[in-house]
Structure 1
Amino acid sequence: MNPLLLTAIIILAALATGNYFYGTRKNRWIVSSLSKDLEAALKPISSNYVNIGGAIGYNFTYALPAPYINAKGTITLSPRHSLLYLPFSLALGIRDRFFLNVFTKKKLRGEGHVVALSQLKKANIDGLEAMKRLDVSEGGRNFVILWRGADLSADLEKLLDALPDPASLKHFCAFPGTKTFFVHANPAKGEIKGNLEAIMKLLPGFIDKEKA
């Protein structure tokens, strides 16, 4: 075999191996950080995590204290451990993400959304055109506030304003049909505690107190 080719193969193999261990370790650290932030903000009674795809994510389920029932969500991570796929994922805009659904038995006052403008077409909101709309800016990003039923505009603006890192939020939703709160975010540097604590503090304001 050509010595130069052999050297190139050895170097590439060494780089791939080193990147695998570094990327795997980094993703494990991020998952550990995110799970600690989640549990600090939601204060679950019990928790369960299920690995999906090795170093790229986890599904989680929490039992929650009243007025909530449980929370279910997914953490998905950039493939830092894969020297082959990482450049493509970065080019496609694939980043660390988490999705959270918080369920309650209580009736919600109405439907409301805070959506990053760049995410609006991907949010798949039924009847979006018929909803009341307010365009706002926060943290250097543009957001759309949507609501129907009760006027939730002030509550939604308050929630967005309370976030220490609004730029990481992609979509917040209070959906009365399933009595669910939904959060989609791209956490920065493995941190979501501040945003989640702010959101959880304000969720009771979306519950119908007369019919709770």
Structure 2
Amino acid sequence: MEITSGFILAIMVLAAVSSIQFFKGRKLNLQIMQHYLRSIEDVVKPEDKEYVWLGGYIGFRAYYRVNRDNVKKFEYTLTLLPRQSLLYFPIALLTSRHDKLYIVVKPQSQIKREAHLIQKGYYRIKPRIENEEFLKRETVVIGNREYEALYEKRRDVELLKYLVESLSKPGNIKHVSLTPSTNVFYVLMKPEPDTIEDDVRKILSFANKKLKTGPFSS
């Protein structure tokens, strides 16, 4: 195959643009990580903390020991779109779709019953839910989104719905659950830099008030 000067020029331009995108995207992802780290830590105010870098500019995991009010531990994983990659970024928009924040709260109180709200159509591969076959099911509408509710008692879903509706953009909440076997309160969401502090504050408030004194706790 004959390699023309035009082909070589196109490769050189692509390489130059990819290099510029790498440095710009890397800087942006680092700024996003720093923003979320500072914002969440300022709200949670942990007594001890540990961060684990996920490699490259993908994101990080944070482990906070809180031991305050009804929150024993607050852990989260932030994964970001590969803004530094000119070629992979469009693919990631189709597969990952957005930045993700996975929050795991371990309360002091004991969660008694299983409950889930899962945004319909979000998961391509449905997550494994323990004892799913024994849970009741129904569709719950929050804003303009439909959620699949799985639960033992209907009032538990109402409280999870109350939480989702109280957050800045309910449609950003993809999965929220309470699992008694691991005693975990879990939230998967699309984070927003401008509202992350308020959302985390409300998630903590839910754990401190509803999980401590509501029907979830013993």
Report if TM-score (shorter chain) is over 0.5. yes
**C-alpha RMSD over aligned residues:** 2.5
> Match for residue 119 of structure 1?
122
Structure-2 separation of matches of 1:110 and 1:207: 14
Aligned residues: 212
Q: Provide the C-alpha distance between the structure 1 equivalents of 2:41 and 2:138, rounded to a whole number of angstroms.
A: 32
Per-residue displacement from partner, 1:33-53 (whole Å, max 9, x unpaired)?
Answer: 222332233222232222112
Q: Which residue matches 1:186?
A: 190
- Correspondence 1:156 to 2:175: no
Please report the TM-score for the alignment, with normalisation by the length of structure 2: 0.84
2:25 matched residue in structure 1: 23
Match among 32, 40, 48 for residue 34 of structure 2: 32
Q: What amino acid is aligned across from residue 141 of structure 1 in structure 2?
A: R
Residue 85 of structure 2 is aligned to residue 87 of structure 1: no
Corresponding position of 1:137: 141
1:69-95 Cα shifts (integer Å, max 9, x gaps): 222221111111011211221232442
1:141 is displaced (CA, Å) by: 1.4
CA contact 1:79–1:85 (8 Å) conserved in 2: yes
- Segment drifting more, 142-151 vs 97-106: 142-151
1:20 aligned counterpart, secondary structure = helix
Aligned equivalents of 2:95 and 2:158: distance in 1? 35
Q: Which residue of 1 aligns with 2:99?
A: 96
Residue of structure 2 in register with 1:59 after alignment? 61
- Of 158-167 and 117-126, deviating more is 117-126
Give the aligned partner of residue 70 of structure 1: 73
Kindly indicate whether the alpha-carbon contact (under 8 Å) linking 1:48 and 1:62 is maintained by their aligned counterparts in 2.
yes
Classify the secondary structure of the residue corresponding to 2:109: coil
Deviates more, 1:172-181 or 1:29-38: 29-38
Indicate the SS of the match to 2:198.
helix
SS in 2 for 1:37: helix
- Within 2, Cα distance between the matches of 1:209 and 1:117? 27
Secondary structure (helix, strand or coil) at the match of 1:19 reads: helix
Which stretch of structure 1 is more off in the superposition, 190-199 or 71-80? 190-199
Counterpart in 1 of 2:181? Answer: 177
The verdict on how the C-alpha distance between 1:106 and 1:7 changes in structure 2, with shifts beyond 3 A counting, is same
Identity across aligned pairs (percent)? Answer: 26
Distance in 2, matches of 1:37 and 1:24, equals 20
Range that drifts further, 84-93 or 118-127: 118-127
C-alpha offsets along residues 106-137 of structure 1, whole Å, 9 cap, x if unaligned?
21242222221223662322233432334222
Letter in structure 1 aligned against 2:130: D
**Mapped contact 1:113–1:145 kept (Cα < 8 A):** yes
Distance 1:36 1:13 in 2: 35
- For the Cα contact (< 8 Å) 2:109–2:211, is it kept in 1? no
CA distance in 1, matches of 2:138, 2:203: 19
Match status 1:48 vs 2:53: no
The 10-residue stretch of structure 1 (71-80 or 87-96) with the greater mean CA deviation from structure 2: 87-96
Deviation for aligned residue 1:14: 1.1
Q: Which stretch has the larger CA shift, 53-62 or 202-211?
A: 202-211
